Structure 1
Amino acid sequence: MKAIIFDMDGVLINSEVKYQELFMQFFKDRGVFIEKEELLFLIGCSRKTEDEFIASRLDISVERAQDLKKTFFENHKVDYLKIRMPYVLELLAYLKNNEITMALASSSPMDNIEDVLKQCEIETYFKYIVSGENFKRTKPDPEIYEYTCKQIGVSKDEIWVVEDSEYGIEAAKKAGLKVMGLYNSKLYQDLTDANLIISSLKQIMEEDIW
């Protein structure tokens, strides 16, 4: 392995569970009760898909949904350092010491990515940072991974991806990449298409994938 590409939400930070809780509160504040199971399809999706879901459930325009969501999350700031995944710092330092190129490919907007990396004190580790907002098609389309691979500039056989969602795994596999699926028992994601399923980032330092 010469390079590794990380997804962000659910991989570097345990945000998927937190976002589920916030979305449930968002709808509850508006008199709409949502079950967690109804939100599972949003894991790994684009912000556009989120906005369309809100619009459909509240019977409002997508533009209005965007405004409501923006205001809500501005008033419910997430402390990303508190939800940083265990072993993130150790893993990134380990990869750096082994001269493995690190990249980040996330569906999140760039301003959110930068905020997360800064709060989690890991912004210096990534040579390439790619946001899904720069592409017309988002995961499970492979476009973001195809682009990131070109930026890295090594053979796809030498690259691994770390993902936590079905959409992300599908995108990486379509791009011809090997994938580690990070399992989270609270998210009910089917990771069986991953080349390797792990339950902790610590395992990446232990697996014989070099």
Structure 2
Amino acid sequence: MKAIIFDMDGVLINSEVKYQELFMQFFKDRGVFIEKEELLFLIGCSRKTEDEFIASRLDMSVERAQDLKKTFFENHKVDYLKIRMPYVLELLAYLKNNEITMALASSSPMDNIEDVLKQCEIETYFKYIVSGENFKRTKPDPEIYEYTCKQIGVSKDEIWVVEDSEYGIEAAKKAGLKVMGLYNSKLYQDLTDANLIISSLKQIMEEDIW
């Protein structure tokens, strides 16, 4: 392995569970009860998909949904350092010491990515940072991974991806990449298409994938 591409939400930070809780509160505040299962398809999706879901459930325009969501999350700031995944620092230092190129490919907007990396004190590790907001199609479309691979400039056979969602795994596989699926018992994601399923980032330092 010469390079590794990380998804962000659910991989570097345990944000998917936190976002689920916040979305349920968002709807509850507006008198709408949402089951956790109804939110599972949002894992790994774009902000546009989130906005369209809110608009459909609250019977309003997408623009109005965007405004409501923006205001809500501004009033419910997430402390990303508190939800940084275990072993993130150790893993990134390990990969750096082994001269593995690190990239980040996330469906999140760039301002959110930068905020997360800064709060988690890991912004210096990634040579390439790619946001899904720069593409017409997001995961499970492989475009973001195809682009990131071109930026890295090594054979796809030498690249691994770390993902936590079905959308992300599908996108990476469509791009011809090997994928590690990071299992989270609270998210009910089907990771069976991943080449390797791990339960902790620590395992990446132990697996014989070099």
TM tier, shorter chain?
Answer: over 0.9
Cα deviation code 1:17-65 (max 9, x no counterpart): 0000000000000000000000000000000000000000000000000
Q: Secondary structure at 2:18's aligned position in 1?
A: helix
Q: Secondary structure at 2:130's aligned position in 1?
A: strand
Q: Secondary structure at 2:105's aligned position in 1?
A: strand
Report deviation, 1:137.
0.3
Report deviation, 1:207.
0.1
Q: Distance in 1 between matches of 2:108 and 2:115?
A: 11
4+ residue segments displaced more than 4 Å: none
Task: Name stretches of at least 5 consecutive residues in structure 2 with no aligned partner.
Answer: none
Report deviation, 1:2.
0.1
Q: Distance in 2 between matches of 1:192 and 1:33?
A: 31
Report deviation, 1:84.
0.1
Report deviation, 1:130.
0.1
Q: Secondary structure at 2:34's aligned position in 1?
A: coil
Look up the match of 1:125. 125
Cα deviation code 1:81-125 (max 9, x no counterpart): 000000000000000000000000000000000000000000000
Q: Distance in 1 between matches of 2:207 and 2:33?
A: 42
Report deviation, 1:203.
0.0
Q: Secondary structure at 1:124's aligned position in 2?
A: coil
Q: Distance in 1 between matches of 2:140 and 2:91?
A: 26
Look up the match of 1:163. 163
Q: Distance in 2 between matches of 1:109 and 1:46?
A: 9
Q: Secondary structure at 2:179's aligned position in 1?
A: strand
Task: Name stretches of at least 5 consecutive residues in structure 1 with no aligned partner.
Answer: none
Q: Distance in 1 between matches of 2:38 and 2:142?
A: 25
Q: Distance in 2 between matches of 1:60 and 1:129?
A: 34
Name the TM-score, length of structure 2 as normaliser.
1.00
> Percent sequence identity over matched residues?
100
Report deviation, 1:4.
0.1
Q: Secondary structure at 1:123's aligned position in 2?
A: coil
| Cα RMSD, aligned residues only | 0.1
Q: Distance in 2 between matches of 1:28 and 1:87?
A: 34
Report deviation, 1:191.
0.1
Name the TM-score, length of structure 1 as normaliser.
1.00
Q: Distance in 2 between matches of 1:37 and 1:157?
A: 35
Q: Secondary structure at 2:67's aligned position in 1?
A: helix
Q: Distance in 2 between matches of 1:34 and 1:60?
A: 17
Q: Distance in 2 between matches of 1:66 and 1:115?
A: 20
Report deviation, 1:157.
0.1
Q: Secondary structure at 2:191's aligned position in 1?
A: coil
Number of residue-to-residue matches in the alignment: 210
Q: Secondary structure at 2:20's aligned position in 1?
A: helix
Q: Secondary structure at 1:121's aligned position in 2?
A: coil
Q: Distance in 1 between matches of 2:79 and 2:109?
A: 17
Q: Secondary structure at 1:93's aligned position in 2?
A: helix
Q: Secondary structure at 1:169's aligned position in 2?
A: helix
Q: Distance in 2 between matches of 1:96 and 1:128?
A: 14
